[in-house]
Amino acid sequence: MTLRYLSFGVLTLAAASAACTASISGDGPDGDGNAVIPGATTGGTSGGTSTPGGGGSTAVVPVPVEVKDKIKLDGQPAYSRVVRLTNEQWTNSVQSGLGLSARPTFAEAFQNAVSGVTDFTNNEQGLSVDSRDWSDFQTAAEALAAQVTSDAAQLGKLYSGTDGAGFIASVGRRFYRRPLTEAETASYQKLFELGGTLSGTQSAFAKGAQVVLEALLQSPNFLYRTELGAVGAPLNGYEMAAKLSLLLRNTAPDNALLDAAAGPGKLDTPEGAAAVADKMLAEPAAKAVMRQFHSEFLHFAKFSQLTKEDPSYNAAVTNAELAESSYLFFDKIFSQGLGVKDIFLSTKGFVGPTMAPLYGGSAAPASGFEERELGANRLGYFLQLPFLILYSRPDGPDSIHRGVSMSLDVLCAPLGAFAGEIPQLPPRKAGETNRTRVDAHTNGCGTICHNNMINPLGFAFENFDGMGQYRETEKNGDETLPVDASGAFAFIDGKKEYKDAAALMQVLATDKQAHLCYSKKLASFSLQRDIVESDYGMLDKLATVSTSGSVKQVLLDLVKQDAFRVRAGGAQ
């Protein structure tokens, strides 16, 4: 038994329609031979104005002059008020909503968001729907509905009764992430009754439930998280429950959270939302979400592409160790209530078997990873092997890309448009260090970017070779040359000097620009959009928390901000 739905193009709320409709073929109740998909029409009132992302009545804080040219805040958010679930959120929501013991695998064949266009793959701009997406959702909905309703035990687990009204109310609330309206309920009741009349050996209840499930799983109210309604109005409890759960659990809210959403003050106030978020942050799901955040933030996917010429390097083993070591470091930062300052100052890191010799002086762990004291020369994540090896050439350190990563990822500094293909570094001349070679090679590439921004940051890491090993001298043929890792950088609060990378990390641990940048990245991931100048007031508050607080505290403060809790301007 299959009811085929029309093209998802008519359902795409992301197209900014104020109302969306769709239908299924058959003798339906709308008078034209179609059974209308309940909830496909969604509306909201547009009224008033507010600065997009600024939180309704919250005054816009102007970006200080010293910040404007130092922090990149020129994103192009759509402020979409209908954001499609990510593939991971879809999978988790289907599994929990249907009570499946096994994780559905349909999303493995779904299209993935295009990476590299925005900082994070959950950005609104990468979550559009085309004909293939809709076909995938339709196929999955039909298969899942058939799977659940063909198994009496599974159907009974989903809903213990045999009445359509109770099934629609109970299951519909889970997939809509709110109670259904009377009109939606009535439409689903018609679908349920229609399904019961179709041919097949199943009971009328099972056949009706199958049709309802097919429609629920294809409804825009399930596939999209919405923030419809008057601009500047706070999100209601159900909208906050969905937003928090999809962010911190990566799945739709459970019944307990939906029950809490119904109560005034539980989720529709800043304090109530933060209290709920605080409990979620202690759950294993939040740790997994933050793994994804830090992975995309610092590009852990690149580890799988590494190649090195060093004879001690084993790509099949070392690459995976570098990635997992990075995950474990940031797992600890988040789970143990540490903060951004600890990302720069911690002298402990996780060491795998092939990594241990590169750190020097310690035996390899028999298996797995050990957290070890790495010493004063290894302050923070960026002086550990994963970062240093990731940004190195096959035959040595990559000062340029180490500097680029620090500029873009850690300081959010605008580097300007890329001038063209970077030519290969020439062979070293006699007496030439890596630093003097790179400096000479980039001298004509742009004084502002290379000489003032990229090179001063990249050269701070000259004490570490291409395999991330510490050194105080370097070899150039038969020559032994001293390493110069000193530098100076113009941060938003002034130019600061440092003698090496460890000293640079101490600067970054308290520097406002580094905390603003981390806050910007975390806000972009959490709000699923680009961050712009009108968000500066929010970023300033988050950076203040970040300077002395934990990553968890920054997230809790973000949840209380209008940018998270209030309907911004944008497409309905």
- Residue pLDDT, tens place only, 266-301: 899 999 999 999 999 999 999 999 999 999 999 999
Instruction: Among 390, 412, 429, identify where a domain stops.
Output: 390
Does position 150 have pLDDT exceeding 60, yes or no? yes
Cross-strand pairs, 496: 489
Q: Is residue 446 part of a domain?
A: no
Q: Are residues 262 and 222 in the same domain?
A: no
First to last CA, the chain: 35
Same domain, 263 and 315: no
Q: Do 205 and 239 belong together in one domain? A: no
State the greatest distance between any 2 C-alpha atoms of the chain, in Å, as a whole number. 89
Of the three residues 343, 368, 390, the one that is the final residue of a domain is 390
Q: Are residues 131 and 212 in the same domain?
A: yes
Q: Which domain holds residue 530?
A: 512-565
550 in a domain, yes or no? yes
162 within a domain of the structure (yes/no): yes
Q: Compute φ and ψ for 432, nearest 5 degrees.
A: -95, 125
Are residues 227 and 239 located together in one domain of the fold? Answer: no
- Kindly state whether residues 225 and 247 are assigned to the same domain: no
pLDDT in tens, 44-74: 333 333 334 333 345 688 999 889 889 999 9
- Does residue 301 contact residue 311 with C-beta atoms inside 8 Å? no
Residue 533 in this model has a pLDDT that exceeds 90: yes
Mean pLDDT of 223-242: 95
* Amino acid letter, residue 446: G
Mean pLDDT of 430-449: 80
Residue 149 domain-assigned? yes
Q: Give the pLDDT band (50/70/90) at residue 32.
A: very low
Residue 138 is assigned to a structural domain of this protein: yes
Residue 410 lies in a domain: no
Which residue, 390, 407, 422, sits at the end of a domain? 390
Strand partners, 464: 470
CA distance 251 to 277: 14
Q: How far is Cα of residue 207 from the mean position of the Cα atoms in its chain?
A: 39
Residues 22 and 121 in one domain: yes
Q: How many other C-beta atoms lie within 10 A of the C-beta of residue 337?
A: 14
pTM for the model stands at 0.90
pLDDT at 544: 97
Please, what is the Cα angle at 437 between 433 and 440, to 5 degrees? 140
- The average pLDDT across 551-568 equals 96
Q: Are 467 and 308 in contact (CB under 8 A)?
A: yes
pLDDT value at position 451?
63
Residue 420: is its pLDDT beyond 60?
no
Average pLDDT of the residues of the chain = 87
The verdict on 285 and 304 lying in the same domain is: yes
Q: Are residues 261 and 319 in the same domain?
A: no
Assigned domain for 430 exists: no
Same domain? For 132 and 153 the reply is yes
Q: In this predicted model, which residue has the larger pLDDT, 540 or 367? A: 540
Tell me if 401 is assigned to some domain.
no
One domain, residues 50 and 151: yes
d(CA 115, CA 123): 10
Residues 175, 262, single domain; the answer is no
> How many domains are contained in the chain?
4
- Which three-class secondary structure string do you get for 112-127? CCCCCCCCCCCCHHHC
| pLDDT at res. 416 | 67
